[in-house]
Amino acid sequence: MTGTLSAAATPVMDRLISRSVEKHRPLSVHFDLTYRCNERCVHCYLDHQDHGELTTAECLKVLEDLARSGTLFLTFSGGEIFLRPDLYEILAAARRLHFDISLKTNALLVTPERAARLGEFGVRRVQISIYSDLPAVHDAITKVPGSLQRTLAAIPILLQYRLQVKLACPLMQENLMAYRGVIALAEKLGIPYILDLTITPMMDGSSGPLAHRASVSSLLPVLRDPALQACKPRPNAQPDGAVNALPPAFGSAVSSGMESPAYNDLPCSAGHNSCYISPYGDVFPCVQLPQAAGNLRREKFDDIWYHAPQLQRLRAIRESQLPICSRCEIRSYCERCPGLALMEGGNLLGAYERACALAEEKARLAGVAVPVSALHRERDTASVPTTPDAEFAFLAADSSSH
Amino acid sequence: MSTPATVFWQKNPALAWREIDDETVIISPHDSVMHELNDTGSFLWKNIDGKKSAAELAVLLVENYEVTPDIALSDTQALLEEMSSRKLVVMVPETAGVSP
């Protein structure tokens, strides 16, 4: 037959990811429309002041460029997206350009009329941040009294308009054990959820939000919960095996990178087939990897995506070549994030304390007798390299044949 | 009454889709099912605009690919029927459609 049509989400998605990685197509883009917000979450990594957001016309131009470049999956987030008065104009343009549209919101401003419009614009999925099923816990994190009640009231409205709703629950000191209530809430509503153990520094690198991060030892009850399978090694856990294949309950509530075994030896999707665009037009590999590759007010998206040195360097990295982590015996328990390695360890290629400590605890709980990460083992023997630039020069040269 | 030959086809406007390197991926927003078209399927998809019948699409196929008119028409009709069953395309009767 001349023209063929195939379906089934996972194989199609894996093929799509493989092709997009191979040819560096920006398949998935996370576009923050504003950093302004009507909540003041204690752990937030954003500066909520408006420092000159892209205008409506500039946003529409970005969307046209992304469509031309092959972006299919588009996530609008913030800040709180409903604070953009031109949100519907932007969504209408995204609809005309045939994007698969997802939104991230706190849902405080959702009304039946707004939900109906989201449906009209073909929004497929809405991810809502929930920190607890208890108002006292949730509202203390958002610093908005009554916010849980308002957010929960929005969910049935969105479902009524056939929008897929997903709960995202970042876990921190203030709500560590609230995950059980959030899971129960999601199951009661019949909707998926994601738990996120990642609390990141501010995008400017300052460490304020980290004061709310739960210590590794305090996470043990969560890691031990058999329902969450937090200590299950990653599927195909081989030295060169799958990456980023997190247990079903866990993942990033922030990044929009897609998880798939198709990434093989890549640390993650950032810069390979996904990227992040700030409200000011800065293009980053990921919201958790704040190294700006260019600005869309000055350059075309394709010029940044295909030619920015920051992205080309990132594409050269292979997990099997990481100076420390490639030698780690408990790699399959690790959820190392390149962005956090840079922000917390100062080295995009390096190991960082938090990931290593978490991997050791997960491996221990899974029955590994003496789990010691390569970072800790080599630090004990003082063999950890300390020259990131030299490490990178080695990788960049070695990867030129890829 | 319209016959199949005079029915025009258009894409379901609710779909998300993108052509990436000669192949097209289509997503149904309500069930999140992904569909994939090969290069000739993508060619037909690009030309499905509410103004062309299966026969007209088949002619375009013949003009751009090495395929006989009979096979082009039968393959085009088969693909349109398959896409219609998956609600990826909808029929537009000639009387109600956009003038070709």
**Which of A1, A5, A75 is the best mutation test for B, with the most CBs of B within 10 A?**
A5
User: Which residues from B are below 8 Å from A125, CB to CB?
Assistant: 32
User: Which residues from B are below 8 Å from A164, CB to CB?
Assistant: 32
Q: Which residue in B has a C-alpha nearest to residue A66's C-alpha?
A: B18
Mean pLDDT, residues B63-91: 95
A293-319 per-position pLDDT tens digit: 999 999 999 999 999 999 999 999 999
Return d(Cα A184, Cα A238) in angstroms, integer.
Answer: 34
A240-265 per-position pLDDT tens digit: 222 223 335 777 766 655 677 778 89
Nearest by CB to residue B16, choosing from A4, A13, A72, is A72
A192 and A168 Cβ atoms separated by less than 8 Å: no
Q: A209: closest CA among A353, A344, A79, A44?
A: A44
CA distance B92 to chain A (A): 20
Does A23 contact B at CB distance below 8 Å?
Answer: yes
Indicate the burial class of B100 (C-beta count within 10 angstroms; 0-12, 13-18, 19 or more): exposed
Higher confidence at residue A231 or residue A195? A195
What pLDDT does residue A231 have? 66
Nearest by CB to residue B29, choosing from A12, A23, A124, is A124
Mean pLDDT, residues A149-153: 98
Mean pLDDT, residues A234-242: 38
pLDDT-based confidence at B5, cuts 50/70/90?
A: low
pTM for the model stands at: 0.88
User: Which residues from A are below 8 Å from B47, CB to CB?
Assistant: none
Alpha helices in A86-240 (DSSP H): 87-96, 112-120, 135-142, 147-160, 179-189, 220-224
Tokens of A129: 């941040």
Mean pLDDT, residues A166-186: 95
B13-66 per-position pLDDT tens digit: 999 999 998 899 999 887 888 999 999 999 999 999 999 999 999 999 999 999
Return d(Cα A229, Cα A248) in angstroms, integer.
Answer: 8
User: Which residues from A are below 8 Å from B71, CB to CB?
Assistant: 2
Cα separations in angstroms, A279 against A40, A83, A173, A255, B10: 18, 12, 29, 15, 35
The torsion defined by the Cα of A84, A85, A87 and A88, in degrees rounded to 10, comes to 170
User: What's the mean pLDDT when you consider all of chain A?
Assistant: 88
Alpha helices in A253-387 (DSSP H): 301-307, 309-315, 338-345, 353-365, 374-380
What pLDDT does residue A241 have? 26
pLDDT-based confidence at A5, cuts 50/70/90?
A: low
Q: Which residue in B has a C-alpha nearest to residue A16's C-alpha?
A: B25
| ipTM for the complex shown | 0.89
User: Which residues from B are below 8 Å from A126, CB to CB?
Assistant: none
Provide the chain A residues 161-180 that lie in CB contact (below 8 A) with chain B: 162, 164
State the DSSP H helix or E strand holding residue B24, giving kind and residue range, or none if neither: strand B23-27
Least confidently predicted of A43-47, A217-221, A380-384, B95-99: B95-99
Provide the chain A residues 69-88 that lie in CB contact (below 8 A) with chain B: 70-72
CA distance A112 to chain B (A): 18
Least confidently predicted of A9-13, A79-83, A88-92, B82-86: A9-13
A110 and A82 Cβ atoms separated by less than 8 Å: yes
Please check the confidence at residue A78 and state whether its pLDDT lies above 50: yes
What pLDDT does residue A263 have? 82
Residue A297's φ and ψ, nearest 5 degrees, are: -80, -20
The rounded percent of chain A whose pLDDT value lies above 90 is 74
What pLDDT does residue A4 have? 66
Q: Are B18 and A70 within 8 A, CB to CB? A: yes
Nearest by CB to residue B72, choosing from A2, A7, A71, is A2
pLDDT-based confidence at A67, cuts 50/70/90?
A: very high
Domains of chain B (ranges; CATH) run 8-89 (3.90.930.60)
Least confidently predicted of A63-67, A85-89, A287-291: A287-291
Mean pLDDT, residues A176-203: 93
Residue A31's DSSP bridge partners are A76, A277
Mean pLDDT, residues A258-279: 88
Least confidently predicted of A70-79, A274-283, A344-353, A381-390: A381-390
Q: Are B86 and A7 within 8 A, CB to CB? A: yes
Mean pLDDT, residues A159-187: 95
Size of chain A, expressed as the number of residues it contains: 402
Q: Are B86 and A25 within 8 A, CB to CB? A: no
Does A369 contact B at CB distance below 8 Å?
Answer: no
Using an 8 Å CB-CB cutoff, list residues of chain B that contact chain A: 14-21, 23, 25, 27, 29-30, 32-38, 40-41, 43-44, 61, 65, 67, 71-72, 75-76, 78-79, 82-83, 86, 88
Q: Are A9 and B38 within 8 A, CB to CB? A: no
A127 and A253 Cβ atoms separated by less than 8 Å: yes
Residue A250's DSSP bridge partners are A195
Higher confidence at residue A251 or residue A268? A268
A347 and A388 Cβ atoms separated by less than 8 Å: yes
Residue A225's φ and ψ, nearest 5 degrees, are: -65, 115
Q: Are A2 and B83 within 8 A, CB to CB? A: no
Nearest by CB to residue B61, choosing from A2, A20, A99, is A2
Please check the confidence at residue A144 and state whether its pLDDT lies above 90: yes
